[in-house]
Structure 1
Amino acid sequence: MKALLLCLAMAWALCGCGTVNTVLSSDAHASSALRKAQTRCESLPRVYSGIAYDLCLLHGPPQLVERDPAAPALMPLQLLDFIPSGILDTVVLPYTIYLQSTQGSLDI
């Protein structure tokens, strides 16, 4: 039972991870999510894209409670996402360097 809860907690935590949203998802999904959050970012580098994704979310306007009732409560989780994003970005660094050299930055 503890293993199941741990797996569910890990899956839930990775759903919001910047690296998962940029490397494992499509480019259209990542750019759509950043446009929806009304960030002021124009492009996203593929190298360390999870960290850049998180910074773009923090650079946008504060999420209003009217649009997302859990918005103020999620701010600490966005800040905590820098740790797993940094680790995962480092793990996938060879792949993202290749993507950056062949496809360039992700336009938002």
Structure 2
Amino acid sequence: MTIKTAVVLGVCSLALSGCGTVSTVLQNDEDAARSLRKQKTYCQSIPRIYSGLAYDFCVLNAPPDPTGVLVPLILLDLALSGALDTVALPYTVYRQGVDGNIRIYGWPGRG
């Protein structure tokens, strides 16, 4: 493996690990909610349908990142999440009907 290939694979891995769709569709609800709470988002819940885009918007709906690095990465991820959310649509529509929104703060019935 060349250095160029290793760098490309590393960047792709980092991008996918921060991808909103990967965070909400492939992880369990508690991990996705914990990640958004860590960002100190003001969102209370996100829908499962197009959850990757909702995740990214919730990250943007948090106190500003002092480093200034987060916003460009999130803007780049919006396109990737939109495409992946569309592919996952049959699954997320089913999960939305069965499980409802992903709660970030509080539990169902507790606010």
* Same topology, TM > 0.5: yes
> What amino acid sits opposite 1:82 in the alignment?
L
Question: Aligned partners of 2:7, 2:41: CA distance in 1, in Å?
Answer: 34
Alignment root-mean-square deviation, CA: 1.2
Q: Scaled by the length of structure 2, what TM-score is found?
A: 0.85
1:90 alignment counterpart: 86
Question: Aligned partners of 1:12, 1:60: CA distance in 2, in Å?
Answer: 21
Q: CA deviation at 1:13?
A: 1.1
Give deviations 1:32-73, integer Å, cap 9, x for gaps: 111111111111100000000000010111123xxxxxx312
Q: CA deviation at 1:5?
A: 3.2
| Number of aligned residues | 102
2:61 alignment counterpart: 59
After TM superposition, the structure 1 = structure 2 runs for residues 1-108 of structure 1, keeping only pairs within 5 Å, are: 1=2, 2-64=4-66, 71-108=67-104
Question: Aligned partners of 2:76, 2:7: CA distance in 1, in Å?
Answer: 20
Question: Aligned partners of 2:8, 2:45: CA distance in 1, in Å?
Answer: 35
The residue matched to 1:10 in structure 2 has which SS? helix
Question: Aligned partners of 2:41, 2:7: CA distance in 1, in Å?
Answer: 34
Q: Structure 1: where are the runs of 5+ without partners?
A: 65-70
Q: Structure 2: where are the runs of 5+ without partners?
A: 105-111
Question: Aligned partners of 2:7, 2:63: CA distance in 1, in Å?
Answer: 34
